[in-house]
Amino acid sequence: MKYNPQIHHRRSIRLKGYDYTQPGAYFITFCTYQRRHIFGEVVEGKMILNEAGRIARVEWFKTAELRPYVKLYEDEFVIMPNHGHGIIWIVGAPRRGAPTAEQFGKPVKGSIPTIVRAYKSAVTYKINASQNMHGAVIWQKNYYEHVIRTDRALNNIRRYIVNNPLRWRLDRDNAQNIRRLSQPQEVEEYVKDAEEMVLGGKINIQ
């Protein structure tokens, strides 16, 4: 079935019943509202961040400063003109007696959805404040996540993140895209397309 925003806008992207507070590595992709280029530009294969882009980067790594159970690494994060990719590591034992499965309106402290939600909120607040705006929408509501289960997948995803600026010429949202692709409708569709472009084929995330 083709994507229909009236039908699918509430669809969950998470594994049903999965404990997103448990230790492990999680590959995250988030995109800007309406695919707008607000974080800077790619010049000769390098991402040049503007003020908004620098805010998005600083707030990502501040996540680990505020949460001792989170680890983040420089070579596992990239901000692009209208999206970002990163790996979040949750370390330490799960909290006993605490709920682990999110329900609508009931976020779970320390879970991946809660961490990503807090990050996006902080970036939105800081960008609005820096540009003397109020209530400007920065992000798409959803985001993409993948539980990294093997060393092979981890290495492939790290390589994909590091090489993202070099492969901007193949991105749907680059006006000079040599493939002239139509824009995706959802984060999941965007990531699927990106996976097909990595290293001339699919990125292996299994």
One DSSP character per residue, 42-53 reads EETTEEEE-HHH
Instruction: List, in sequence order, every beta strand (DSSP E) within 20-143.
Output: 24-31, 40-43, 46-49, 70-71, 77-79, 83-90
CA distances from 39 to 84, 138, 146, 178 (A): 10, 10, 24, 22
Q: What are phi and psi of 134, to 5 degrees?
A: -140, 120
Q: What's the chain's average pLDDT?
A: 78
96-143 residue pLDDT tens? 455 555 555 567 889 999 999 999 999 999 999 998 888 899 999 888
| Cβ count near 119 (within 10 Å) | 23
Q: What are phi and psi of 200, to 5 degrees?
A: 75, 5
Q: Measured between alpha carbons, how far is 198 from 205 in angstroms, rounded to an integer?
A: 11
pLDDT number for residue 190: 55
Whether the pLDDT of residue 160 is over 70: the answer is: yes
1-50 residue pLDDT tens? 332 333 333 333 455 556 889 999 999 999 999 889 999 999 989 999 99
Helix (H, G, I), strand (E, B) or coil at 79: strand
pTM (two decimals): 0.76
What is the architecture, at CATH level 2, of domain 18-94+104-200?
Answer: 2-Layer Sandwich (3.30)
